[in-house]
Amino acid sequence: MYQIDDLTKTYRQGKREVRALKNVSLTIGDGELVAVQGPTGGGKSTLLQMLGGLDRPTSGTVKLDGKDLAAMSDTQLTAARAETIGFVFQNFNLIPTLTALENVETALVPSKIARQSRTARALAALDSVGLGDRGDHLPGELSGGQQQRVAIARALVKNPKVLLADEPTGNLDEETRDEIVDLIEGLWKEQGLTIVLVTHDSVVAARTPRRLRIAKGAMKELPA
């Protein structure tokens, strides 16, 4: 799924340069579930941005299904994000003014499908995360775990090839964390998704078949 070669990302803050990723090379196969661990500031989120086409590498290539994200135009990147990549964030990042159902629908807006089938698909996605009856609730009316479920439904409603999750359980208590990890694991098994899951929770990481560790921009594979 992903073929990453000699990836370097440098942030410039005035005169100071921060090398968030240093010559990272990595291959992630189709349908893999990979956990990325590491200390804070190590470069986990930066790697996820490169994988998700949210930002461009300073050098190196990030091939998704053989196509280099670094070489794509803005329009192509937007299309890739809209169709192929699903995101889940630590803070859920739901639109506070839209209901749960509408939030899920926002992910289908770029694909310009008819309103009715859009709503139907969003409802089905909400159902699959166990919130079929909460569609008309605003995010503020839902618990953290429920909000993250809505966010997962939003990420998956478009049937992406990869799911990128940045600390999806970072803001949840242990019990809810396990529920969410169960959910992600279940979806992975069911749908054959490729999932990259950033976490510094070793309990979460322990449940994944493959683990990576990034510290100071350098990446290494952890033994299974």
Partner 1 sequence: MFFTYLRRELRNRRKQTVVVAIGLAVAIALVIVVNAVSTGVKDAQSEVLASVYGVGTDITVDQPSEGPVAAGSSPGRFDFDEGEGEANEDGTRDLSDDRLSTAMGTAPFDASALETVAGLDHVSGVAASLDLENMSFSGEMPDLAAMEESGAGDVTLRMGQDGTGDGSAGGSSFEINRFTVTGVDPDAAAVGPLTTAEVADGRTLEADDKNVAVLDATYAEQQELAVGDTITVGGKDLEIVGTVSSTTGDGVATASDAYLPLATAQTLADLADQVTDVYVQVDSAENVDAVAAAIESELPDASVSTQSDLAEGVTGSLSTASDLVGTLGTWLSAIVLAAAFGLAILFTVSGVNRRTRELGTLKAIGWSRNRVVGQVAGESVVQGLIGGAAGLALGVLAVWAVNLAGITLSGASGGLTMGGASEMMRAGPAGTVQGGGTAPDGGGGGAFGERPDAFAGAAGDAVDIVLQAPVSLWIVLAAIGLAVLGGLLAGVVGGRRAAKLRPAEALRSLA
23 counts as binding partner 1 under rule CB under 8 A: no
For residue 148, the partner it binds in Mg ion, ligand ATP, partner 1, none, with Cβ less than 5 to 8 A by kind, is: none
40 counts as binding ligand ATP under rule CB under 6 A: yes
* Helix 115-128 / helix 144-156 crossing angle, nearest 10 deg: 130
Cα of 77 vs its chain's centroid, Å: 15
For residue 212, the partner it binds in Mg ion, ligand ATP, partner 1, none, with Cβ less than 5 to 8 A by kind, is: none
| Burial category of 12 from C-beta neighbours within 10 Å (exposed 0-12, middle 13-18, buried 19 and up) | exposed
Dihedral, 103, 164, 204, 33 alpha carbons, nearest 10: 130
Q: For residue 52, give the amino acid letter.
A: G
Find all residues with CB under 8 Å of 142, minimum gap 6, and list them: 100, 134, 150
Q: Which is closer to partner 1, CB of 26 or CB of 98?
A: 98
Q: For residue 71, give the amino acid letter.
A: A
For residue 20, the partner it binds in partner 1, Mg ion, ligand ATP, none, with Cβ less than 5 to 8 A by kind, is: ligand ATP
* Helix 174-191 / helix 144-156 crossing angle, nearest 10 deg: 20
Tokens coding 202: 């070793």
For residue 13, the partner it binds in ligand ATP, partner 1, Mg ion, none, with Cβ less than 5 to 8 A by kind, is: ligand ATP
CB 18 within 8 A of CB 193: no
Nearest CA-CA partner of 9 in 217, 215, 197: 217
Of residues 69-88, those binding partner 1 (CB under 8 A): 74-75, 78-79, 81-83, 85-87
45 counts as binding Mg ion under rule CB under 5 A: yes
Q: Which is closer to partner 1, CB of 106 or CB of 191?
A: 106
Tokens coding 55: 């930002």
Q: Which listed residue (27, 59, 76, 91) binds partner 1 by CB under 8 A?
A: 91
Count of residues engaged in binding ligand ATP, rule: CB under 6 A: 12
Residues that bind ligand ATP (CB under 6 A): 11, 13, 18, 20, 38, 40-46
Residues that bind partner 1 (CB under 8 A): 45, 48-49, 52, 54-55, 74-75, 78-79, 81-83, 85-87, 89-91, 93, 95-98, 102, 105-107, 109-110, 154-155, 158, 166-167, 170
